[in-house]
Structure 1
Amino acid sequence: MAKLYFYYASMNAGKSTNLLQADFNYRERGMATMLWTAALDTRSEGMVRSRIGLEADSHRFTPGTDLWKAVTQQHDETPLACLLIDEAQFLTAKQVWQCARIADEAGIPVLCYGLRTDFRGDLFPGSAVLLGIADSLIEVKSVCHCGRKATMNLRVGEDGMAVKAGAQTEVGGNERYVALCRRHFSQALGDTK
C-alpha cells in the first residue's frame, strides 16, 4: 500500500538532498519517478537543487496545478514508482489532498519535503494539511549555532537583524534565513510571539 510521507525541517537541513537521494535510489533500480518543485521558487529554474550541488530536472507546480491529473497522465504513459515533491509547504490544501489520492487510489508513494513553519513560527498552509493527513511524518534534523536542534526559520534583513513582519513567503537562501532552535529564535525576535 502506497503512503503519503512528509519530511519536514527548518531551512538548510538537507531536505532537497534527501529527496534527490531517494530519487537516485529509485532510478538506480530502473524505476520511474516524477519530481515536482514550486514555481514560486525562481532560484530553481525547473530543477530540484541542493546546497551541496546535487540537482535534477523537475516539473513546477503553481497553486492552480492539478497534481492528480498531471501525475496520473504520466503514470498512464510510464508507470511511476514514486512521486517526489520539494518545497511542499507551498502546496495548497487541495493539492495535498490530491497527493493523498495519488497514494490511495493510484498506488504511487508520495514523498513531500518542506518547511513546517515560516519566519514567524506559523504553519504554512500546505504543511498544516500534510501534518494532519500524512501517513508518515519524518523530521529531518538541523542544528542551531548553539548545538541544539534547529526547528525555526528566522528571516533576516540586509543588516542581519531579525525581520518580524512581512509576507509569509519570500524566496531566499542563507542570505535571508537562519535556522535556529526555538530559544534563539525567540531571543532574536525579542520574545514578541
Structure 2
Amino acid sequence: MAKLYFKFGAMGSSKTAQALMTKFNYEEKDKTVWLIKPAIDTRDDRVENGHRITEARSRIGLCAPADAIGEDDDLIELFAAREGRIPTDVIICDECQFLTGRQVEQLKYIVDHFDLPVLCFGLRADFQTLMFPGSKRLFEIADSISEIKSICRCGRKATVNARLDAAGNIITEGDQVCLGGNDKYVGMCYRCYYERTHAAEK
C-alpha cells in the first residue's frame, strides 16, 4: 500500500540531495518520477530561450528539472492531466514546507485513491521556530515521518533554521518566507539558538 512520506530536516541537512538521489533510484528501476517544487522558491530557476525553468538543486551540485507548483494549483487536477500523457509511478516534492495545507491534503488523496507513493522533503519550522503550513499539515496526515539529521557547530543535533543578517547576527523578526541558502540561514541546535538570540537582545 502506498504512503505519504514526510522527510524533514534543518537547513544544510541534504534534503534536496536525498530527494534527487531517491529520484535517481526510482528511475534506475525504470520508474517514472514526477518531481515537483513550490513555485515560490525561485532560487534555482534559470531562463533558457526566454522560458523560465524550475530546478531542484542541492548544495553538492545534484540538480534536476521540476514542475513549479503555484499556491492556487490543484495537485489532483495537475496529476490527472499529467497521467493522461505520462503515467507516473511516484511523486517527489522538494521544499514541501511551501505547499499549502490544501495541497498536502491533495497529495494524500493521490496516495490513497491512486495507490501512488508521494515523498515530501522539506523544513519543519521557519526561522522563528514556527511550523510552515505545509509542514504542519504533513505532520498531521503523513503516513510516515522521518528526520534527516544534521549537526550544529557545537556537535548537537541541528533543529533550528536560524536566519542571519549580513554581519552573521541572528534575525528574529521578518516575513516567514525569505529565500536564501547558506548565506542567509544556518542550522543549529536550540541551545545555541537560544544563547545567541538572547545575547543579541542584551
What TM-score do you get using the length of structure 2 for normalisation? 0.92
Number of the residue aligned with 2:27: 27
Where in structure 2 are there 5+ consecutive unaligned residues?
46-53
Structure 2: how far apart are the matches of 1:172 and 1:129? 23
Q: Return structure 1 stretches of 4+ with deviation > 6 angstroms.
A: none
Q: Which residue of 2 aligns with 1:51?
A: 59
Partner of 1:154: 162
Q: 1:28 is aligned with what amino acid?
A: E
SS in 2 for 1:184: helix
1:174: Cα distance to partner? 0.5
Q: Distance in 2 between matches of 1:41 and 1:63?
A: 11
Do residues 137 (structure 1) and 151 (structure 2) align? Answer: no
Deviation at 1:74, TM superposition (A): 1.4
Gaps in structure 1 of 5+ consecutive residues: none
Corresponding residue for 1:116? Answer: 124
The separation in 2 between residues aligned to 1:25 and 1:170, in whole angstroms, is 32
TM-superposed CA distance for 1:78, in Å, is 2.3
Q: Which residue of structure 2 aligns with residue 17 of structure 1?
A: 17
How many Å apart are 1:190 and its aligned residue? 0.9
Q: Is the Cα–Cα contact under 8 Å of residues 39 and 71 in structure 2 kept in the other structure? A: no
Q: What secondary structure, in the 3-state scheme, does the structure 2 residue paired with 1:111 have?
A: strand
The reply to whether residue 102 of structure 1 matches residue 146 of structure 2 is no
2-side partners of 1:40 and 1:184: how far apart?
Answer: 30
User: What is the CA RMSD across the aligned residues, in angstroms?
Assistant: 1.1
Deviation at 1:42, TM superposition (A): 1.4
Query: Which secondary structure state, in structure 2, belongs to the residue aligned with residue 79 of structure 1?
Result: coil
- How far apart are the structure 2 equivalents of 1:59 and 1:3? 21
Specify the code of the residue in structure 1 equivalent to 2:4.
Answer: L
Which whole-Å CA distance do the structure 2 matches of 1:185 and 1:76 have between them?
A: 48
Aligned length, in residue pairs: 192
SS at match of 1:189: helix
Q: Give CA-to-partner distance per residue, 1:140-159, whole Å, 9 cap, x none.
A: 00110011110110001011
The equivalent of 2:50 in structure 1 is: none
Q: CA deviation at 1:41?
A: 1.4
Could you tell me how far apart the structure 2 residues matched to 1:21 and 1:42 are?
21
**Hey, what does 1:63 align to over in structure 2?**
71
**Shift, 1:72, TM fit:** 2.2
**Residue pair 1:72, 1:106 contacting (<8 A) in 2 also:** no
**Number of the residue aligned with 2:49:** none
- Is the Cα–Cα contact under 8 Å of residues 12 and 142 in structure 1 kept in the other structure? yes
Q: Is the contact between residue 68 and residue 98 of structure 1 (CA under 8 Å) also seen in structure 2? A: yes
How far the C-alpha of 1:76 sits from its partner, in A, is 2.9
Q: TM (normalized to structure 1)?
A: 0.97
> Is 1:172 paired with 2:180?
yes
Q: What does residue 92 of structure 2 align with?
A: 84
How far apart, CA to CA, are the structure 1 residues paired with 2:195 and 2:28?
46
